[in-house]
A and B are shown apart, each in its own frame.
Chain A
Amino acid sequence: KQEVTQIPAALSVPEGENLVLNCSFTDSAIYNLQWFRQDPGKGLTSLLLIQSSQREQTSGRLNASLDKSSGRSTLYIAASQPGDSATYLCAVIRPGGSYIPTFGRGTSLIVHP
């Protein structure tokens, strides 16, 4: 059974810092990995999707990397801003069947001015 772990569980940083959020998974046979952002009490916003054959994806100040062999992904946030404050979730999809994702518990990020 796939298990997804996110470290740290919570993070509080001053504005402007560069951040790294970690996601690890136990089964390296994945189809893709997706990073989401969730604002308090809200739904999920897709940030980046990395296919199993890719090593990284970039969108603006966000960069996500994937190392399948070690079962790890990182989300790098450059020059953090207070508007980045949210919970960040990673989800891993295994190949075959109905492609249902397994979610981590998330990293709760606070960026203070």
Chain B
Amino acid sequence: SAVISQKPSRDICQRGTSLTIQCQVDSQVTMMFWYRQQPGQSLTLIATANQGSEATYESGFVIDKFPISRPNLTFSTLTVSNMSPEDSSIYLCSVEDPTYAYNEQFFGPGTRLTVL
């Protein structure tokens, strides 16, 4: 399966600042996804990031708050901008591994963000 790494693994940030999270995959993938998991909740999709095109955001998420880059087929970044305590969550990237049938999804280890 695809091996996915994320940086940083955790961070504590001040209100009003921004944090960029990196996601690296060990193989080329077409589709990458960014999720948020708030404390005690399940995963909520933020956006889909395809290489060479603008990210597609889900309802309730906007580019100004969560800008995404996808410069190549193995890398993506998610920035959480102008942070508030409500942004404290685990942020996860995932991919569909093209070597697996039926769009099996694989996830990175997550970035635990705490905003003070």
- How near does chain B come to A75, taking the closest CB pair, in angstroms? 16
Contact A44:B103 (CB < 8 A) given known A98-B48, A100-B33, A100-B48: no
Set of chain B residues within 8 Å of A104, measured between Cβ atoms? 42
Contact A41:B110 (CB < 8 A) given known A34-B104, A100-B48: yes
Please tell me if the beta carbons of A32 and B103 are within 8 angstroms of each other in the complex: yes
Please tell me if the beta carbons of B41 and A105 are within 8 angstroms of each other in the complex: yes
Please tell me if the beta carbons of A91 and B105 are within 8 angstroms of each other in the complex: yes
In the assembled complex, A51 has its CB within 8 A of some CB on chain B: yes
Please tell me if the beta carbons of A31 and B103 are within 8 angstroms of each other in the complex: yes
Mask, A13-35, CB within 8 Å of B = 1, is 00000000000000000011010
The number of chain A residues with a CB under 8 A from chain B is 23
Q: Pick the residue among A32, A41, A45 that contacts B102 (CB under 8 A).
A: A32
In the assembled complex, A42 has its CB within 8 A of some CB on chain B: yes
Mask, A84-113, CB within 8 Å of B = 1, is 000001010100001111011110000000
Complex Cα–Cα for A76 and B85 (A): 38
Please tell me if the beta carbons of A46 and B104 are within 8 angstroms of each other in the complex: yes
In the assembled complex, A43 has its CB within 8 A of some CB on chain B: yes
Set of chain B residues within 8 Å of A93, measured between Cβ atoms? 103, 105
Please tell me if the beta carbons of B106 and A46 are within 8 angstroms of each other in the complex: yes
Most buried by B among A32, A42, A89, A93: A42
Set of chain A residues within 8 Å of B102, measured between Cβ atoms? 31-32, 49, 51
Residues of B30-46 whose CB lies within 8 A of A: 31, 33, 41-43, 45
- Chain B's closest residue to A91 (CB) is B105
Set of chain A residues within 8 Å of B96, measured between Cβ atoms? 99
Set of chain A residues within 8 Å of B45, measured between Cβ atoms? 100
Set of chain A residues within 8 Å of B110, measured between Cβ atoms? 41-43
In the assembled complex, B90 has its CB within 8 A of some CB on chain A: yes
Interface, chain B (partner A; CB < 8 A): 1, 4, 6, 31, 33, 41-43, 45, 48, 56, 90, 92, 94, 96, 100-110, 112
Interface, chain A (partner B; CB < 8 A): 31-32, 34, 36, 41-46, 49, 51, 89, 91, 93, 98-101, 103-106
